[in-house]
Structure 1
Amino acid sequence: MVLINLFTLLLCYIFTDSVSSAEQPNVIVIVADDLGWNDVGFHGSDQIPTPNIDALAYNGIILNSHYVHSTSTPTRTALLTGKYPMRLGLQGTSFLPADKRSLPDGKLLPEYFKELGYSTYLVGKWHLGYSKWNDTPQFRGFDHHFGFYNSYTSYYDYLTTWKFGDKEYTGFDLRNDGKLAYEESGKYATDLFTDFTVKTITEQDSTKPFFIMLSHLAVHAGNDGKLLEAPQETINKFTYIVDSNRRTYAAMVSKLDDSIGAIVEALDNKKMLTNTVIVFISDNGAPTVAPQFRNWGSNAPLRGVKNTLFEGGIRSVGFIYSPLLVQSARVSTDLIHVTDWLPTLFSAAGGDIGILDPELDGIDQWSSLVYDLPSPRNDILLNIDEKTRNAALRFYNWKLVVGGIQNETLGAYYGVDVLVNTEEQIYNLEAVINSPAGIIANKINYSPLSPEEYENLRSAATITCKSKKNPCDPVGGSYCLYDIPSDPCEENDLAKFFPSVVRQMKRALVNYRTSLISQLEEETDIDNADPKLFKYTWNPWSECTKPDCQSPLDNSK
């Protein structure tokens, strides 16, 4: 055992030294929007084939205990700041169109990467404020941004419609480095953002590393009347799915999978893949049922949906792939939180962790991931919302949930019904192996995975749950305690059996509460941000002259 530990330490030393002296790795973080736990093949679902996603996951590390926040803006805040949103006043609702709120001042992930000599790109969704130009991506560390500012837009015409009171407001929301990109209308959003990413990779100076955050619109629902959109030829591949909405959703997931394959091919063609780190996560669980933005995704068998602190809302699809990982092709159940990606990826890029903000909540997990060492994280603050009085905490195997959102029905079990009434589907492992990502991963691997190894990884990543024993509803102030490794579906409340654990975790929540910043109040300014004042576009409006309010970066003025 001593010899093994010494050998591991030697490997760590060699690898750490090589990162500092060798070529810096490229880093791509791919964020799917509202993707359900059960909507990828590697979690055991047979209904929607995701061969490229599955191939990368199997050949990387499947993160089966990866946690995010329950809605978009808090998760993106945590990812880019490395801090719990409640420390920044962003623990509540996501930003609305015409919202005056924005991400508070502070250094973000792309700014750290720029200091390491990286080119930085945001492709797709921002959703962190745009009332002033200084709130937009290119003023927050990204060299380039091609995408949209709001929480969603339509998949072909890039119009976002929002209702304030009894009046609807519609505006165009697609930009390339701040300039309106009308010429891209008519192109399907998932393909558009993929093509831009592929072009960026292809044209990148191979002597300069890059950081790309590909923040897909997919598979978020869009405007009323056309919530779900996908090319008809892709929808036609899923005729075995009876429900037409679920069928379109499946096509949207399939296009997302195609995106992953295209990006891996581009990296391989450029001979960059062996020195690239790819992270894939969803920003929260699927809104299987919801008052708004239902997308017919499935988090089964997990409890809850988007906008809840149950596992279905915050336990995210996630994996990391890179040939730089020494111990890959495995399923990790170690705790990892979205805040961890800032220090982890900064470490992977050769950065000195000591220069990071000492108040980060994220923990550097790079060595743990590379060598399959014990994770340094043993607890996660899942959120504290002082307005709804809803909070949750993971501590080792335990999870404590306090209070609930107003719509308690969202804490039920959903998603199984979207999978029934279909012809029997069989998981197509050959499609995974022969997908673009699968072929390239096998080519790179020193020892390609066997079909049996693929099946074993899939089995290990699949969650199964027993029948409900002792359910608990935290709405109304109850404390619900779950042993998540043995009860991932939160069916068996153990609070009355382990009162000392409940007390300990309540004290931890109280301690976390001392650093909470009161939520930034929703403050929409639609009278001044009305798209019609800016040629029917969603545009930064504060400190602007209407209707031609151009980015300070636009030299064409």
Structure 2
Amino acid sequence: MNVWNERLSTWHAERKRTASRLIKMVALFCVWLALVMLARPVVAQERTAKPNFVIVFADDLGYSDIGCFGAKQIRTPNLDQMAQEGMRLTHFYAQTVCGPSRAALMTGCYPLRTAKRANDQKSVHPFLHSKEITIAEVLKDQGYATGCFGKWDLAGHKQAGYDVSLMPNRQGFDEYFGTPSSNDSIVNLVQNDKVVEPKADMATLTQRFTNHALSFIREHKDEPFFVYLPHTMPHIRLAASKDFAGKSSRGLYGDVVEELDDNVGRILKLLTELDLQDETYVIFTSDNGPWYLDGHARLSKQRDKGGSHGGDADPLRGHKTSSWEGGVRVPTVVWAPGRVEAGTTSSKMAATIDLLPTLARLAGGEQPSDRIIDGNDISDLIHGKQSAVTRDTFYYYVHTQLMAVRKGRWKLHLQRSQNTMKNWDVFQKQADVVDLSSAKLFDLESDPGEQSDLAAKHPAVVKELSELAESARRDIGDFDRIGEGARFFDPQPRRTDIRKP
């Protein structure tokens, strides 16, 4: 009996020890699980509250030069997939030429409103004043790492002798690798403030700019980042790497665009590999419409077997430097899985000037409040909200001259006795170079090619849009007047370029 009691006592003691150990293990597991559950929401909040942004800015890409916008001879599987997984914006506007388009994107303003170094409006490509506030500066204030990799064109339209004080590192970007201006003849590569490679091989540029963007994303994957990737292509001089040269049925131009597409795919692939696809907005667009070569002797030497002109803007009329739709309406895709509904298309009006206020809001910040910003927040639009309020008006400036105004479906080309960009007509078809003795009205919904003038049939619409144009002239300015809302920070005379009407 004593033996039995002793065994029973031992069994009870062992059972208690085992239970105690199990309780401790369960308690430790619960503590560990609680810590994990507490940590995970914090990380998620930190990473989703400040989404990442990547803007890929092509140069002189036509409206229908990618598959999801109608290209037949150019293969763009990555951009097409991006559109299938995101949203196409089919009425998205830039500006008519490189430098002003970049100023508009960076500041959220019509270029004629923004301040220039020494108040200089004579230069078509602006010296964007250091007191202007860029997207990069807005996002830096929200804790973003900021990187620019590619063409800048806001410190002087030249490869040497540009204003170093206006380069990306002085305009809100932590890192820069790219070129000061266009690749018209040569490209000097600059890293931050230092020229690191004069006369670089243009066939390597698309890949090298993307390589730097990818490295920046890897380095800053655990914090919010903004990547601005303004490519030099397909601006001339055209060049494609050996992996793409001669591969497109659209000639050299097609080769260049297909290489751009491949490098967009590299960005999307890396974001997916790093599990950042649900936390990142990628926006692909162009700085203006395509160039047309036939009227320009020097540029015509770059014609390829695929056609007599560069890109295509079909079904739109016009090319780069013009206020026809083909000069300013650009192919645009927004990709943000889980945030932007897949396979959607919006025909509502939007523009590059809308990106600053949009990214500011998405980042949890605000657009500058001490100055006029022309852009609108389009975050509700790209998120597919039926209640989204979008712009209903857009002003078409060609350098300093107001050429047209759009409201809703209607676009009015203004009467003009002179064109201050006359010497830039070489980028356009001769049939599109017209002086207007009277205003012309087009219905862009039924006539995107701007062929049928309806001014005589709709005088009330002409009057309404003419009044809008006059309000823009008063506020922003025109070739013959200074706008009341135009900004000047330097003591030099304001607008020495003013011409008599």
Q: Please say whether Structure 1 and Structure 2 have the same fold, judged by a TM-score greater than 0.5.
A: yes
How far residue 264 of structure 1 moved from its aligned partner, in angstroms, is 0.8
1:53 aligns to what? Answer: 79
Residue 134 of structure 1 pairs with residue 165 of structure 2:
yes
Residue 365 of structure 1 pairs with residue 378 of structure 2:
yes
Residue 392 of structure 1 pairs with residue 352 of structure 2:
no
Residue 117 of structure 1 pairs with residue 143 of structure 2:
yes
The CA deviation string for residues 250-278 of structure 1, in whole angstroms up to 9 with x for no partner, is 10001100111111111111111110000
- State the secondary structure of the residue aligned to 2:112: helix
The CA deviation string for residues 492-515 of structure 1, in whole angstroms up to 9 with x for no partner, is 110111111111111111111112
Residue 497 of structure 1 pairs with residue 485 of structure 2:
no
Question: 1:40-439 counterparts in 2 under 5 A?
Answer: 40-88=66-114, 94-95=124-125, 101-103=127-129, 105-130=131-156, 131-152=162-183, 159-160=186-187, 173-182=188-197, 185-186=200-201, 188-204=204-220, 206-222=221-237, 228-238=238-248, 241=249, 246-289=250-293, 291=296, 293=299, 296-353=310-367, 356-373=369-386, 374-383=388-397, 390-402=402-414, 403=416, 405-406=421-422, 412=429
Q: Which amino acid aligns with 2:229?
A: L
The 3 A distance-change label for structure 1 pair 45 and 92 is farther
Equivalents in 2 of 1:208, 1:21: separation in Å? 7
CA contact (8 A) 2:334 2:340 kept: no
CA contact (8 A) 1:66 1:335 kept: yes
- State the secondary structure of the residue aligned to 2:246: helix
Equivalents in 1 of 2:463, 2:426: separation in Å? 27
CA contact (8 A) 2:50 2:363 kept: yes
How far residue 92 of structure 1 moved from its aligned partner, in angstroms, is 7.2
CA contact (8 A) 2:410 2:443 kept: yes
The share of aligned pairs that are identical, in percent, is 30
CA contact (8 A) 1:35 1:282 kept: yes
TM-score by length of 1: 0.69
- State the secondary structure of the residue aligned to 1:87: coil
CA contact (8 A) 1:285 1:315 kept: yes
- Structure number with the bigger relative contact order (C-alpha 8 A, sep ≥ 6) is 1
The 3 A distance-change label for structure 1 pair 92 and 34 is farther
Q: Which amino acid aligns with 1:58?
A: Q
Residue 33 of structure 1 pairs with residue 59 of structure 2:
yes
- Across the aligned residues of Structure 1 and Structure 2, the Cα RMSD in angstroms comes to 2.7
The count of residues paired between Structure 1 and Structure 2 equals: 411
Higher Cα Rg, which structure: 2
The 3 A distance-change label for structure 1 pair 473 and 192 is closer
2:9 aligns to what? Answer: none
The 3 A distance-change label for structure 1 pair 492 and 48 is same
Equivalents in 2 of 1:184, 1:55: separation in Å? 35
The 3 A distance-change label for structure 1 pair 210 and 409 is closer
Equivalents in 1 of 2:81, 2:47: separation in Å? 30
CA contact (8 A) 2:85 2:341 kept: no
How far residue 369 of structure 1 moved from its aligned partner, in angstroms, is 1.6
CA contact (8 A) 1:29 1:213 kept: yes
Q: Which amino acid aligns with 1:274?
A: D
CA contact (8 A) 2:105 2:352 kept: yes
CA contact (8 A) 2:63 2:326 kept: yes
- State the secondary structure of the residue aligned to 1:42: helix
The CA deviation string for residues 330-367 of structure 1, in whole angstroms up to 9 with x for no partner, is 110000011000001111112245x5445100000102
Equivalents in 2 of 1:342, 1:329: separation in Å? 25
- State the secondary structure of the residue aligned to 1:221: coil
TM-score by length of 2: 0.76
Equivalents in 2 of 1:175, 1:384: separation in Å? 29
How far residue 137 of structure 1 moved from its aligned partner, in angstroms, is 0.9
The 3 A distance-change label for structure 1 pair 357 and 477 is farther
Equivalents in 1 of 2:48, 2:259: separation in Å? 35
Segments of structure 1 that go 5 or more residues without pairing to the other structure are 1-17, 161-172, 223-227, 415-471, 521-557
